[in-house]
Amino acid sequence: MDFKLEQKVKVVVTDNLSECVLEILATTNYKKPMLVMDSFLNSTPIIGQLKNDLNDQNIEFVLYDRIVSDPPVELVDTGAKICLDNKCDCIIAIGGGSSIDVARGINIIRHNGGSIVDYVNPIKPIKNCAGLIAVPTTSGTGSELSNALIVTDTKTSQKLAVLANESLSEIAILNPELLMSLPKNMTIATGLDTFSHAAEGYTSNLSSPVTDAICEKVMYLVVKYLPTAVADGSNREARERMMVAAALGGWMLNNCGTHVGHSTAHILGSKYKIPHGMACSYALPGALEYVAPVLPKKIKEIGYILGATFSDDCTPEEIAKITSDAYINFRDNILGMAPFSDLGISENDLYKNAQSIAEERFAGNTPRLVDVDGALGLLKKL
């Protein structure tokens, strides 16, 4: 059947990471976790406490703290070898999207063998991959609930996507304490990534009445709580609400996907080393305008969520412009995102990416055909 909504991940919200992890290990009977994170996070007090508590309970673990942004294929394959060699029976991923993506890739190989590149092909079978416990430290990618992972092919500099419902986290732990020290610029970028997930999912070919309601709520939460999280990173309520929004946004990736906004972000992010959330936020106004002729009612609804007003006789083009301007005001003036021009990319070089964007796999979810001319128009919007 063509199901419209599915959610298999068990979600826990906690104020004590160590206590929660120990309870999960006891409940699931996992004996030897592999901890996946970056080296900075490994040096923080909260992770130090977790490692001490694991040692105090005589729980042996393997630490893999080599995660970097835009993780390369080799990082996943090497981690999988270490995991298998040490006979780990579960993986605890702590970090942003890169850490959880790498851990998901390791878990796929642990259960299925080979290299993570093998699973970019959607017809490659993947059996159920139990044992992934995801602990996000940003409110952006929603990897803790999504079925996707993105890795970089260092030979071609292309971002490769693996999509597999069999690779979902078994458990997601939402701990707002992990976000309290997230820098302002990362709070902005990751929060806008969450908004992009919801806005693109809402206007995707894969959307449904059920996912629409959730995407609307995710966008509302971002508009309401992200400015507070940016202004006061220690505000627990704002951090928790953004964690929930990001997780729900990641869930929507599985059910209604993204479209040409993410295609643009994947191509430009990989080529110019733009952080993913920033790339998505730069691409979104053009993407909203691009789909407005076929989905004016939904674009107007996004505008309402952003605080825009519309006359009764607005044309689709006017709706697109008003909503796009409202988003840009939220992004640039309320939150303070740096302008795209700061990246120093020449127009001629930028426009050379049109064909790659048109051919990127998520562009097919766009409710209008994305050809080279359409992609070029989107690039000019930047």
What would the pLDDT profile of 219-239 be if each residue is shown by its tens digit? 999 999 999 999 999 999 999
Amino acid sitting at position 245: A
- pLDDT for 209 equals 96
Please, are residues 212 and 203 in contact by the beta-carbon 8 Å criterion?
A: no
- At 245 the pLDDT is 97
Cβ 324 vs Cβ 289: under 8 Å? yes
For the entire predicted model, the pTM comes to 0.92
Q: Does residue 114 contact residue 154 with C-beta atoms inside 8 Å?
A: no
Q: Round the average pLDDT of the chain to a whole number and report it.
A: 95
Q: In whole angstroms, what is the distance from residue 177 CA to residue 179 CA?
A: 5
Note whether 157 and 73 are within 8 A (CB): no
15-74 residue pLDDT tens: 999 999 999 999 999 999 999 999 999 999 999 999 999 999 999 999 999 999 889 999
Q: Which two tokens stand for residue 271?
A: 């080529």
Task: Spell out the domains of the chain, with CATH numbers in brackets.
Answer: 10-179 (3.40.50.1970), 184-380 (1.20.1090.10)
Confidence of residue 275 (pLDDT cuts 50, 70, 90): very high
Query: In this predicted structure, what is the pLDDT of residue 340?
Result: 95
pLDDT tier at 122, thresholds 50, 70, 90: confident
